[in-house]
Amino acid sequence: MLTSSANTEAVPAISEAALNERITAIVPARDEEATIEACIRSLARHAEISEIFVVNDGSTDRTAEIVRGLMGELKNLRLLEAPEIPAGWLGKNHALWQGAKRATSHGSDLAELGRSSAAPLRDEPASRWLLFTDADAELLDGATARALRIATETGAALVSFSPEQVTGAWYERALIPFVYSRLAKHFSYEAVRDANSSVAAANGQFLMMRSDVYDEIGGHKSVAGEVLEDVALAKRVKAAGYRIWFGSGAGVVRVRMYRSFGAMWEGWKKNLYLLVGGTPSAVYQELFSVVPWIPFALLLLGLKAPIALVAGAGLLLARHAVYASTLLRNQFRGTYILYYIPAVVLYASALWASYRAHVQGVVEWKGRRISVRAAG
């Protein structure tokens, strides 16, 4: 985990954007003791962020304790306790909704909402922008200023970055670049930004939205039961006639999504089926596309026919070359080509497991069972 000392950090200069705009950052946190401090400190370095709300979503570790320890140092940091999750809600969506309600309320209203472990609010207007981010995300220098500049230049009501992916273990280097390379085909930045296209997407690890638009579309309450709440919000924003800007987060925000194989498997098992289309036919099409069936078949035939072995090896090398190009285009290291075969196996397995879980109607995440229903 990358951390930084408050005693050695320079105070950021107030940017031109910060003079005219205010951002409230909202971080849902459930058992995030390993990452929450680095996340908060990265948010606190940005002058454009006037408030940081961490919403404790039933953590059983030291998450809340760490946040309270930072509150004496960071005067714009507040810790909120998420109430019991109502029926029909997912925990993360409910936590984000609680934070957004408080962000768009004034001090007197906030007290009535049951705020806990928070310093008194300043007598200031509500922020014009809400920044939703995850506890494992770290904003890099200039991130919020860049987001505000993009919003101003494009007229976007929602600005989202797909973060730099930090990978440690071999299975992260295999699966995560492969997943994001596939998602780039399903949700191209150009299509999302095109006001005439119906394609809409966002990444909840950095999703900044105008607070008035958030209220207009119904906020997280309108996507209470959605597993992919970020994509669902983006669809509602675009359907309401507002612009979306979605792009690469290289140099803006970075994330190490998973720190164990189990967590990675659980995460993609929850999301992958929906990300590729959310239908059985989409799964079959995706598997047909990504698995090198013909090279594998030729390699098997090569046990008896050497010419088939040569042909299979050639086709497999061609697949490697295409994947190398895809990695570089999506700003991953070209050396991750070495993980191509493990990546295909992990991706196909995780996608099939995700499909089966959704068909069965239940996925799990951070100790909670989530009811889902797969399309027929």
Residue 4 has pLDDT above 50, yes or no: no
Looking at residue 299, what is its pLDDT?
Answer: 85
- Domains of the chain, first to last: 16-259 (3.90.550.10), 269-371 (no CATH)
Residue 66 has pLDDT above 70, yes or no: yes
Local confidence band at 374 (pLDDT 50, 70, 90 cut-offs): low
Q: What SS3 state is found at 162?
A: strand
Looking at residue 2, what is its pLDDT?
Answer: 33
| DSSP-assigned states of every residue in 83-129 | -PPPTT--HHHHHHHHHHHHHTS-HHHHHHTT--S-PPPPS-PPPSE
Q: What SS3 state is found at 194?
A: coil
Query: Which has the minimum average pLDDT: 30-39, 85-94, 294-303?
Result: 294-303
Local confidence band at 94 (pLDDT 50, 70, 90 cut-offs): very high
How many helices (H) does the chain have, and how many strands (E)? 15, 10
pLDDT, mean over the chain: 87
